[in-house]
Structure formats: C-alpha cells, structure tokens
Amino acid sequence: MISSLLIANRGEIARRIIRTASRLGIRTVAVYSEADAAAPFVAEADEAIAIGPAPARESYLGPEKILAAARASGAQAIHPGYGFLSENADFAQAVRDAGLIWVGPKPASIRAMGLKDAAKALMIEAGVPTTPGYLGEDQSETRLAAEAARIGYPLLIKAVAGGGGKGMRRVERPEDFISALASCRREAAASFGDDRVLLEIYVTRPRHIEVQVFGDSHGNVVHLFERDCSLQRRHQKVIEEAPAPGMSDDVRAAICAAAVKAARAVAYEGAGTIEFIADASQGLRADRIWFMEMNTRLQVEHPVTEAVTGQDLVEWQLRVAAGEVLPLRQEQLTLSGHAIEARLYAENPDTGFLPSTGPLTHFVLPSQGVRVDSAVEQGGEVTAFYDPMIAKLIAYAPSRGAAAARLAEACSGVRIWPVKTNAAFLARTLRHEGFRSAALDTGFIETHLTALLGDAEPGEKVLHAAAQARLAVHHTPPGLLGFRLNAPPRIELRLQSGGHIHNISLHPPLPPPPLPTATHGDETIVFEAGRAFAFGEVTADDTGHGAAASDGAVLSPMPGHILSVAVAKGDTVRKGTPLLVMEAMKMEMTLSAPCDGIVEDLNASPGARVAEGVLLLRLKTGD
C-alpha cells in the first residue's frame, strides 16, 4: 500500500481523499493557494504546502509547483481528485517520470479518451454505440454549418476537449449557429486551450446515464452499475442518483457491458466513468442509448455508487495505483437500496443562479440521516476563484421515494448566510411530482423552473418569525395599539428586507418563533426550507415603496473579467439586448439591457477584470 499521498486538489474532494487515506494509515500532504490557507482540508492533512496565489492557473494548475511540493514533502504518490489536472495526460506522465505513483489511469488512456472526437472514433471501432453527428478534421465555419444542416436542429456543439458542461451549446435554429459556435469556441479555448468542436444530434427527451468502471494493471475490468445524472442546469449536474430509475435488468446488463467494452478498448486502469445519452421518449431501451464520452477520473457523484454498492471508491483507487488486484470480481458486486446526491452551490436562484461569494457568517448543514461532503465550515469564505459548489448532501434509503424524502428534508435544513445557496431549489426539486414519478430528462429543470424557484418574497410565517425574534433580541418598542373595550392589544412593527418594507402585526401572547432565526449585528435572519431572509429596522432613508426602479445602470454581478462588449457608447438598445459577456467562477454569462435606452458611461472593455458591483455601463432612459 502507498505510504504517503499528496492531494493535488482542494475543497471537499481533498477532504474526502484525506478521510480514506487516514483510515488506511496513509500520510497525507495538502497543497493550497493563498485563498485556501485557512481552509479545512489544509488543517486536516498531515502536512500542507503553499503553492501560489489564489488564481488556479498560478497554483492548482501549475504542474511544476505540485511536483516540487511532492519532492519537498517526500510524498510517494499523487492523487489529482477531479477537475484541475486530473485529466491532464502530460501531468500524469510527468508524475510517473518523477518516480511517483499516479493515482489514476495511464497517460495513454487519458489521451485516448481526452478528445471527444478521437474517443468517439475509438468507440465506433470497438463496437460501442455512439451518438450520430460530425467529428471531422475540417473545422471551418462553412463545413460546420453545412454539417449542422445535415444533422438537423436542434443540435449540440461540443468542445472536443470539453467536460463538466464547459464548451457546450444547444442550438435551436440555423440563424443562431455561428454565434453559438463562436461562444462555444471561446469558452473551450479558455477552459481547455483547444477550441475545436464536434456536432451531435440533440435528443429531445435525453437522459444522462453513466456507468462507473474500474480496471487494474492485471487486465481486470469491472463495472459498479449505473448512475442517473439527468437533472442538469446549463449542462451542469445538480442531482444524481443510483441506480437509474426505470432501468430494467436487461437494459442495465447491456449498458454496463458496453461500458466495460469501452474501458477495455483503452486498457483502462483505475476509476473511470463511461457517459451515455439515452432517448427516454419510449422508456429506457438498449438500442436508444449511445456513448457520449469517458471521464478518466473519479466523479463528483461517486458517493451514490459507494452507497448502493457498499464500496469505498477512493480506497479502490489507492489499491489499484499500488499495483493490487481489484478488491472484488464482477460477480461479487451487488446493488442494494437507492442513493441520491444534491450539489449545494453558492448561487442565487432568484438572479438566474449567479454565483454568490462572501463570508460564511452562519453555516449550518444537516447532521442526521445524510452524508455530507463539505468544502467549507462556518467562518470560512466562498471566493470567486473556484467552483461555487460548497457541499454535497447524499441520502441513502431502501427505496427511491424514501431517499428523496430524506434528502429533501436535509436540503430544507440548510441554514447559510449571507452567501446565497440553491438549498431551497434543491428541496423543491426533490419534492416535485415529476421527480418523484421519475419523469426525468435533462430539460426537467428548465421545464419546471417557475415551480422549482418558488416565491422569493418572505411569507407570513417568515415575517412573524422575524418580528418575534426582533422583539426578543433587539427589544424593539412594541407600540401597543387597540385599547378599546374587549379588543385585544396588538404589536405593529415595520421591518425592511431586500429593499422592501413590511408592516407586521402581532397579537400577544406571542408563541416562540415558528422558524429558526439568528442575529448578526443589526440584522435578524430567518431560515425557512433552505432559504435565508435578512430583516432590519426601517431607517429614515427607506422610502417604504420597496426597491428603487432601475436607473439604467448595469453593474458587475460578481468579480470576474470581461470577455466581449457588444455595444458602443451612443448605441440605442431595447430591453433584453445582450450588452456584454463576462466570465466568473468558471462560468460565462451574458448581461442584457435592463430597459430601453441609449448607452452612456461605458466602462467595460474586453479583457478587463472587474470587482462585484462595479458600474459597467449606464443606459440613458429618457425623461
């Protein structure tokens, strides 16, 4: 077994690897950027080495810095986690050349599956069914547009070096193809250093099903059954589960056999995932499931597979890397029960799921009934430098319904402030009738978005809880009213929340607040079903009419950098017109005109870095 392990990653996956390694008696070494100096994974490792500034390209994406840390610490092996350098074949080879153990597949396997077009060609040769489309060498706009017309719309443009939903665009109409292609290429170049693309048919009722595979250096390959990852937003997975609902034994046998065949085609070693797209318009059928790509690493959603198989996949990785035979043969692996994972993101569903950054002044995650893999703790901070996922919540139960109910309850119990999260959104999704009946496809969230978002304004129960908490903690003057005979007194308060004024009436005697609350400075925070509402006293500056109307200002929603500007000073635009594109927290976003107007005060230029709340431009809206 490996004696010492350097973890070339951060956050929850670094903590996850440390847990298993520590249980096996393996000494762990963390590497960290300046932004992560106080992060939990740094404290939990046996040794930690600083490797550079906060931006990933200056720290976690620096192969030489990580190799230097391995040499300095005397580490025997390097585990890349997922993301960052985990699928970088050159880095894997450099680790091996340095005389270290690489906890992952052979560099040749990574290269074979790293480019989507080459991987598809290899799978066709191996007899694995693949999605129809175009993966040719001619990357000219003319050829790609012609191939798109041949394939038909809607279709998908995908970066050949892509992954994690980056460099992927769905195109509905021919007239949108060229602009979508340019955006896809730009994001692919920024994320992977390769702007080549392939085209695929877009399945109208697609389900995303993947199979966990494992191979060793002795020629053994097994699968650990499938996961369903159909619930996605912007091609990013949100909720994953195992096994896939509605999967019959014969279809499972077919898809898992195809996955093993794919892994054998590249002499695969270690943990990998074969991803398939399934046409669910007629249920799950073996002849309507196609290979999409292979992820040559551990997946974010690996805990659901661990739950239904009873195996520790990180331990499997470490044993295979050490040259051992796979811990179990195929016939020894069994499925039991159902597991569902929800990704808790630092983002605000009410503003189009824009990432949310800042200190975690109040941070409470559920502690009973679910597994929690968290990247942060109370007192920490969510920065703009890395992925906005702050934790994973995983529920296991004998049945799918019981697992969903348990996970929904856990998501409702999340209490985080002032950083916004998608906890309430997750809880609503898990309780939605369409999810409970397994009417799933990758468009589920978009189709049901209005119902899943719910009401952003506080309801009566929240308002009463806020008022009662203010009275208990801040001793707000009660203002007793109604001294008429036989008329009970009442207490009236005016509280401000989110730019809105709320007039609240309470009738003594007052029961305890019906919802969890917290006090931070002059604010009272009320938590309801995963949401957090902050209340303060009404000041002289408050108008009592709610938030002010837009003055045409377009502000940076978070720290990031400008990719492109589509307008010039003096241009006339209509409400909804795209103004500029910016990138933040690994996500590209388009900022549109909030109203009709003429562009003035244009302060944005391509390549510029901007902080949160910076005025990018202002629209003159007229009299």
pLDDT digits (tens, 9 = 90+) for 361-390: 999 999 889 999 999 999 999 998 998 999
Q: How far apart are CA 203 and CA 277, in angstroms?
A: 8
| Per-residue pLDDT, 483 | 40
Do residues 193 and 172 make contact, with C-beta atoms less than 8 angstroms apart? no
CATH of 337-455, one of 3.30.420.40, 3.40.640.10, 2.40.30.10, 3.30.470.20: 3.30.470.20
Catalytic residue among 185, 288, 297, 400: 297
Asked about 297 being catalytic, the answer comes back as yes
Report the range out of 160-174, 407-421, 564-578 with the highest average pLDDT.
407-421
State how far Cα 388 lies from the chain centre.
7
Model pLDDT for residues 462-481, shown as the tens digit of each residue:
999 999 988 887 655 444 44
| Per-residue pLDDT, 601 | 85
**Mean pLDDT, rounded, for 264-281:** 94
List the domain boundaries for the chain.
Answer: 4-103, 132-201, 337-455, 460-537, 553-620
Q: Which fold, 4-103?
A: Rossmann fold (3.40.50)
Give the C-alpha distances (Å, rounded to integers) separating 405 from 340, 365, 459, 479, 514: 10, 17, 23, 43, 22
- The amino acid occupying position 274 is I
**Mean pLDDT, rounded, for 590-605:** 89
pTM of the prediction? 0.82
Q: How far apart are CA 495 and CA 506, in angstroms?
A: 13
Apex CA 539: angle with CA 536 and CA 545, to 5°?
90
pLDDT at 132 over 70: yes
Question: Which CATH code for domain 553-620?
Answer: 2.40.50.100
Q: How far apart are CA 286 and CA 530, in angstroms?
A: 39
Question: Of 35-44, 95-104, 277-286, 537-546, where does mean pLDDT reach its minimum?
Answer: 537-546
Query: Within 13 Å of residue 293, how many CA atoms lie on the same side as its CB?
Result: 22
Q: How far apart are CA 569 and CA 405, in angstroms?
A: 53
Model pLDDT for residues 484-497, shown as the tens digit of each residue:
445 556 788 888 88
pLDDT at 513 over 90: no
**Mean pLDDT, rounded, for 540-545:** 44
Q: How far apart are CA 592 and CA 615, in angstroms?
A: 14
For the domain made up of 132-201, the CATH class stated in words is alpha beta
Model pLDDT for residues 398-424, shown as the tens digit of each residue:
999 999 999 999 999 999 999 999 999
State how far Cα 391 lies from the chain centre.
10
Query: Within 13 Å of residue 459, how many CA atoms lie on the same side as its CB?
Result: 9
